[in-house]
Amino acid sequence: MNRIAKNARRGFTLVEILIVVIILGILAAIVIPQFSNASNDARKSSLTSQLQTLRSQIQLYSLQHLDQYPPLLVVGGATAWDNMTIKTNDDHTTTGTPIRGPYLQASPTNSLNNNSSVGIVTGVTDYGSGGVANASGNVGWVFNTTTGKIWATSRAFGFIYNEGRAGDPNNDL
The span from the CA of 28 to the CA of 154, in Å, is 31
Residue 157: predicted pLDDT: 63
**Average pLDDT rounded to a whole number, residues 78-84:** 93
103: amino acid identity, one letter: Y
Across 14-26, b (16+ Cβ under 10 Å) vs e yields eeeeeeeeeeeee
Q: With 60 as the cut, is the pLDDT of residue 133 above it?
A: no
Question: CA–CA distance from 133 to each of 16, 70, 72, 143, 169 (Å)?
Answer: 59, 21, 20, 10, 17
Instruction: Encode burial over 97-110: b for 16+ CB neighbours within 10 A, e otherwise.
Output: eeeebebbeebbbb
Instruction: Collect all residues with Cβ–Cβ distance below 8 Å to 12 and sequence separation of at least 6.
Output: none
Alpha-carbon span 95 to 112, nearest angstrom: 37
User: What was the pLDDT predicted at 124?
Assistant: 75
Q: Could you write out the DSSP letters of every residue in 69-125?
A: --HHHHH-BTTTTGGGGS-B-TTS--SS---B----SS----TTT----EEEE-SSS
Highest averaged pLDDT of the listed ranges 81-90, 114-123, 146-155: 81-90
CB 153 within 8 A of CB 140: yes
> Who wins on pLDDT, 120 or 56?
56
In tens, the pLDDT along 12-56 reads 899 999 999 999 999 988 888 777 777 888 888 899 999 999 999
